[in-house]
């Protein structure tokens, strides 16, 4: 067997499906896993998620906030109730913060790398499980391609490189869905209950949504069986109903000890039912936060699945023509999985792009199955329009991306522009050569090139180019300027607006002052104080002639202009009633 065939990049006779499935030629499916393919996946994940993982600063909106919560866990040695700037942080459960804090503990503090390692590890495990579990759903070779497609999709890369908790929850959901499908495929309903075990950490990562999403997928799949009048479908649905009750009880037993401790320790401000309803029902129905229109994901998914989204028309056609969804339970499960997650979040009022991350393994498996059913080993790329046209679109998008990168470098990082431009020209030359060579070869060669180039470009982009944007997106430079101006005994505050992206790089407790009266009170015990405020808010600072106010730092941090003022006494301290 050739190396290409062994790793799934060359022609093979393997087919896909579950134990009731057959491929279009009637052969029994191959589920044989290859250690070589696992090595390839691990190598790809290293470059996609771990290569120079700490090179880029923590960027808002979420990275510095979550890192600061984990830091305060370490500093206060409080592992029960999360805190942010000394206040109870009730927006998220603690699992991701626990992991970041544990990884950071040997280093003494949370840094850019340790804040992202849990997300990168979860993304890597998702890629491996997509292959391992997908082999029983669509076939080993198809699952291998599907796993690579998942790993190199734009949004999946971003989440795996971003210090946020969505990859961790998506991984827990994937484990649960894998247990469910194995139980269905092997007719072992006890695995339905086992599948609820990973939903306990899912709930500890992002709350009830981590339970709701997989249950919706499982229920939809079993109802599809009932609709198709599959033998034993009502019995499977009944078993699943029992499993839901038992599984929820198990989750409650696993989560309850922490929940009770957090509720009692926070005197009811964390873990109350009213808070749970606000965070769940409010986000799902009442647009508590992140409101987006109904059609948001229909357009948003187009960039999330880049570059592979261009093959979705081909995938849809192949599934309709060759999928035989009535008999092919593995492919049927993948399709239901994808559609269920997509529609679930479409009907929720609060939407963010990363919410649909749990559908990525299903999307990758569908594409992997469809691409191999389209016979990429035959003919020459230039003669196979079903492959050449989507790949042409990828080429045009690559050119547009290079032009956008050059424009951005020229506008925002002009000092590094010559270096960036040289890299862009080299990349353009390589892409041109690859395109010319691939045109005369089978389409699978071009598909393999897309995988390899995407992986290497990701490593260069996040490892070397993204850090050039730190002055625009990070608060580190601003904070360093402020800290350099401060002396022993000086105190630092936020004025009327807490900024977590500033707080993290200040590396100290920074209270918030909400009025002129509070500013005066802070000055009573200090020679001078420093105030960090959004541009415009400092104009509401009116302390009278007894105080001298100077600006010591100014920068655009993220989307806001931020200033730091130093205030010191210049005369008699006025009473609050004297404030004008």
Greater pLDDT, 173 or 426: 173
Q: What is the pLDDT of residue 11?
A: 45
CB contact at 8 A, 350 and 337: no
Task: Tally the domains of the chain.
Answer: 3
Residues 518 and 547 in one domain: yes
Has residue 272 got a pLDDT over 80?
Answer: no
Residues 466 and 505 in one domain: no
pTM summary value: 0.90
Over residues 88-99, the pLDDT tens digits come to: 998 889 999 999
Q: What is the pLDDT of residue 58?
A: 95
Residues 67 and 110 in one domain: yes
Q: Which of 348, 373, 398 is the last residue of a domain?
A: 373
Q: Which of 448, 470, 492 is the last residue of a domain?
A: 470
Residues 348 and 464 in one domain: no
Has residue 305 got a pLDDT over 80?
Answer: yes
Q: What is the pLDDT of residue 279?
A: 56
CB contact at 8 A, 340 and 217: yes
Kindly state whether residue 7 falls inside one of the protein's structural domains.
no
**What residue has token string 């210090």?**
163
Kindly state whether residue 174 falls inside one of the protein's structural domains.
yes
The 3-state secondary structure of 317-342 reads HHHHHHCCCCCCHHHHHHHHHHHHHH
Kindly state whether residue 349 falls inside one of the protein's structural domains.
yes
Q: What is the pLDDT of residue 413?
A: 82
Residues 345 and 314 in one domain: yes
Over residues 183-201, the pLDDT tens digits come to: 999 999 899 999 999 999 9
Which string of b and e fits 322-349 if b means at least 16 CB within 10 Å?
A: ebebeebbbbbbbbbbbebbbebbeebb
Mean pLDDT of the 381-386 span: 90
Has residue 24 got a pLDDT over 90?
Answer: no
Has residue 289 got a pLDDT over 80?
Answer: no
Q: What is the pLDDT of residue 409?
A: 85
φ/ψ (deg, to 5) at 107: -95, -5
Rg of the chain over Cα atoms, rounded to whole angstroms, equals 27
Greater pLDDT, 292 or 347: 347
Cβ within 8 Å of residue 25, ≥6 positions away: 15
pLDDT category of residue 219 using cuts at 50, 70 and 90: very high
CA distance 556 to 56: 17
Has residue 265 got a pLDDT over 50?
Answer: yes
Residue 98, domain extent: 32-373
Residues 322 and 443 in one domain: no
Residues 232 and 308 in one domain: yes
Residues 408 and 541 in one domain: no
Residues 128 and 181 in one domain: yes
Residues 463 and 362 in one domain: no
Q: What is the pLDDT of residue 336?
A: 97
Residues 557 and 452 in one domain: no
CATH number of the domain to which 548 belongs: 3.30.110
Has residue 235 got a pLDDT over 60?
Answer: yes
Has residue 479 got a pLDDT over 90?
Answer: yes
Range scoring the smallest mean pLDDT among 181-190, 284-293, 401-410, 489-498: 284-293
pLDDT category of residue 12 using cuts at 50, 70 and 90: very low
Residues 437 and 496 in one domain: no
Mean pLDDT taken over the chain = 88
Kindly state whether residue 17 falls inside one of the protein's structural domains.
no
Q: Which of 373, 399, 432 is the last residue of a domain?
A: 373
pLDDT category of residue 486 using cuts at 50, 70 and 90: very high
């Amino acid at each position: 067997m050739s190396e290409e065939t062994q790793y799934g990049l060359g022609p093979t006779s393997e087919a896909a499906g579950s134990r009731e499935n057959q491929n279009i030629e009637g052969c029994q499916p191959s589920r044989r896993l290859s250690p070589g393919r696992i090595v390839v996946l691990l190598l790809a994940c290293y470059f996609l998620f771990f290569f120079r993982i700490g090179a880029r600063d923590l960027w808002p909106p979420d990275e510095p906030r979550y890192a600061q919560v984990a830091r305060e866990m370490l500093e206060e040695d409080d592992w029960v109730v999360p805190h942010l700037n000394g206040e109870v942080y009730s927006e998220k459960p603690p699992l991701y913060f626990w992991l970041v804090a544990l990884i950071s503990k040997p280093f003494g503090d949370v840094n850019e790398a340790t804040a992202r390692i849990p997300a990168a590890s979860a993304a890597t495990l998702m890629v491996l499980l997509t292959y391992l579990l997908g082999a029983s759903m669509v076939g080993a070779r198809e699952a291998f391609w599907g796993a690579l497609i998942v790993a190199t999709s734009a949004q999946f890369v971003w989440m795996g490189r971003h210090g946020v908790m969505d990859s961790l929850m998506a991984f827990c959901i994937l484990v649960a869905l894998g247990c469910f499908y194995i139980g269905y495929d092997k007719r072992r309903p006890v695995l339905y209950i086992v599948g609820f075990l990973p939903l306990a950490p899912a709930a500890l990562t992002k709350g009830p949504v981590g339970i709701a999403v997989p249950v919706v997928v499982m229920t939809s799949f079993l109802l599809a069986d009932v609709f198709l009048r599959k033998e034993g479908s009502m019995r499977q649905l009944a078993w699943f109903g029992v499993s839901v009750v038992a599984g929820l009880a198990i989750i409650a037993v696993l989560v309850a000890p922490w929940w009770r401790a957090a509720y009692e320790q926070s005197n009811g401000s964390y873990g109350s039912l009213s808070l749970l309803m606000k965070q769940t029902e409010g986000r799902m129905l009442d647009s508590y936060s992140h409101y987006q229109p109904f059609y948001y994901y229909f357009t948003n998914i187009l960039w999330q699945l880049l570059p592979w989204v261009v093959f979705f028309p081909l995938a849809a056609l192949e599934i309709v023509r060759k999928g035989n969804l009535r008999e092919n339970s593995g492919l049927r499960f993948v399709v239901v999985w994808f559609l269920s997650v997509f529609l679930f979040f479409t009907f929720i009022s609060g939407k963010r792009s990363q919410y649909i991350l749990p559908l990525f393994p299903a999307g990758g498996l569908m594409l992997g199955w469809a691409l191999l059913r389209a016979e990429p080993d035959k003919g020459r790329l230039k003669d196979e329009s079903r492959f050449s046209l989507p790949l042409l679109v990828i080429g045009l998008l690559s050119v547009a991306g290079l032009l956008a990168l050059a424009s951005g470098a020229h506008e925002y990082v002009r000092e590094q522009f010559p270096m960036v431009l040289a890299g862009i020209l080299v990349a353009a030359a390589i892409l041109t050569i690859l395109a010319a060579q691939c045109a005369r070869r089978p389409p699978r060669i071009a598909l393999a090139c897309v995988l390899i180039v995407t992986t290497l470009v990701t490593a260069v982009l996040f490892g070397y180019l993204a850090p050039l944007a730190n002055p625009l997106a990070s608060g580190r430079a601003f904070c360093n300027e402020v800290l350099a101006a401060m002396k022993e005994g000086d105190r630092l505050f936020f004025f009327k607006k807490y900024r977590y992206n500033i707080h993290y790089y200040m590396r100290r407790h920074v209270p918030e002052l909400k009025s002129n009266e509070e500013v005066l009170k802070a000055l009573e015990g200090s020679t001078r104080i420093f105030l960090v405020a959004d541009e415009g808010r400092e104009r509401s600072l009116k302390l009278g002639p007894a105080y001298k106010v100077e600006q010591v730092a100014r920068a655009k941090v993220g989307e806001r202009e931020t200033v730091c003022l130093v205030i010191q006494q210049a005369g008699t301290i006025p009473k609050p009633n004297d404030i004008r």
